[in-house]
Amino acid sequence: MPADVGANGFLGVAYEQLTPPVQAAATTTTSGGTHPTAAVYRYLITAINAQGETTVSNEITAPATGAGSTNTVTVNWGAVTGATGYKIYRTAAGGAAGSELLLTTVGLVTTYIDTAPGAPAGTYPTGNTAGVPGIYVAPTKFAPIINESVKFVQDNYYRRPIRQTADVVGAHAGTGNVEGSVQIEGLEDVVPYFLTVGRYAVTKSNVAANYTHIFTPTAVGQPIRTMSVTIVRNGVAFGYTGVNVVNQKWSLDNGALMVEFDLIGANEASVAVPTPTWVDPTTQNVFGAGDLSVEVPSGTPILDSDGFELNINDNGQPNPRIILGAAGRGSAFTSFGERDAKVSLTRDFTSRADYDAFKAMTAQSLTLVASKGANNKITFLCPVTFKDSYEVGLSGQGELIRAQLDYTLAIDNASKSHLITILSQEALA
């Protein structure tokens, strides 16, 4: 029996995108430029590729330029694998931190000599759009999971020509893709990684240590948003690339908020076993009994429900393409279909009026809030819901009468069927 059998499995994720550059110290010289005496500048650098641009590097403040008006500033940064160029952002002389504007775009270099004050224009990005879909990236976040069933499947071609035999005469590896599911606790610092590679427009505001991430469903997919999923099983690492989330099912387990994500990906890569780093479990927020509230309509908490399930299915499908080489084995991308979003509630049946509203197809808003405080919260807003089914029944004398309600989500006047807002102490990359 292998000696490493035991509790050694884990999962890690990483966005498939270029990493921001890292700046080294800047230097100044007193000749070759037109920067004035004692000018001080701040710099940020981003990396670019055909897909977009990374978030910014660390900020560097250049030392004050020398006497005279012929000074230059040289900024330096480390090369980013996969980049096709870089953008340099700079403040005005003496400008405040974070006030950098676009100065210039350069090619595959790691040094830029700033010779003139100039007039920078154009703000730096707050999100990373420099995707590298399908290219494996080692984990940057390790996530505790309940279970997983992720695998690489291939549709093999077995040769069975008519040639005086009834048997298979050979085989050829067909197209394949990654598929399966991951079930986790509804952790505010982990869930955003999975939602980001779903069919959402993502906005974020990072203020101090309180971060707000808003996920708004879209009609179109985000082709540059994929992630690599690394799973270590029995000491062996499996790397899955080009992964998107195509279905999510939120539910309660003994009062704890849980979510299961269905994944579709492009391919599998042979990878080394990473060394995981874990969040202190005493500081990681698990939403359990007493942390949850259901509101029907939104703003009116109900106190008679003991069951909740939210299922958002984007009906994703893998799409292979004719591509030369190993890339031709896997799926080229994931396509999304029609979205089916539903909520199920179990409630005490106390009102015929509520049942009549079901028959009349009366629209209601519905909200689920999981909260550990003002800055640790997940909110699900379903602005327009219709009761799709309403089941009540008697099972014996004196039994509590229960109602099973299924809601179908529709869009509001902003064309969204739901909205997920996550307040966290951890910023989304």
Give the pairing type, strands 236-253 and 305-313.
antiparallel
Rounded CA gap, 239 and 325, in Å? 19
The reported pTM is 0.87
Cα–chain-centroid distance for residue 114? 37
3 state DSSP class of 80? coil
Q: Under the phi-then-psi rule, with left for phi > 0, alpha for psi from -120 to 50, and beta for the rest, what region is 7?
A: beta
- Alpha-carbon separation of residue 201 from 73, 197, 215 (angstroms): 39, 10, 6
Please give the pLDDT value at position 329.
85
The residue among 213, 211, 251 whose CA lies nearest residue 342 is: 251
Please give the pLDDT value at position 3.
60
The residue among 393, 404, 401, 408 whose CA lies nearest residue 361 is: 408
Tokens coding 199? 């069919």
Q: Is 213 in contact with 192 (CB distance < 8 Å)? A: yes
The residue among 67, 65, 108 whose CA lies nearest residue 85 is: 108
Q: What is the pLDDT along the chain (429 residues), one digit of tens a residue?
A: 556 566 889 999 999 999 999 999 999 999 999 999 999 999 999 999 998 999 999 999 999 999 999 999 999 999 999 999 999 999 999 999 999 999 999 999 999 999 999 889 999 998 788 999 999 999 999 999 999 999 999 989 999 999 999 999 999 888 999 999 999 999 999 999 999 999 999 888 866 668 899 999 999 876 668 999 999 999 999 999 999 999 999 999 999 999 999 999 999 999 999 999 999 988 888 999 999 999 999 999 999 999 999 999 999 999 999 888 877 888 989 999 999 999 999 999 888 998 999 999 999 999 999 999 878 999 999 999 999 999 998 877 777 889 999 999 999 999 999 999 999 888 775
Please give the pLDDT value at position 426.
80
Rounded CA gap, 323 and 332, in Å? 9
In DSSP notation, 302-347 reads -SSEEEEEEEEE---EEEE---SSGGGTSEEEEE----EEEEEEEE
Please give the pLDDT value at position 429.
59
Q: Virtual CA dihedral for 83, 273, 242, 429, nearest 10 degrees?
A: -60
Please give the pLDDT value at position 1.
52
Please give the pLDDT value at position 56.
95
Please give the pLDDT value at position 108.
96
Write a three-state SS string for 365-413: EEEEEEECCCCCEEEEEEEEEEEEEEEECCCCCCCCCEEEEEEEEECCC
Please give the pLDDT value at position 319.
92
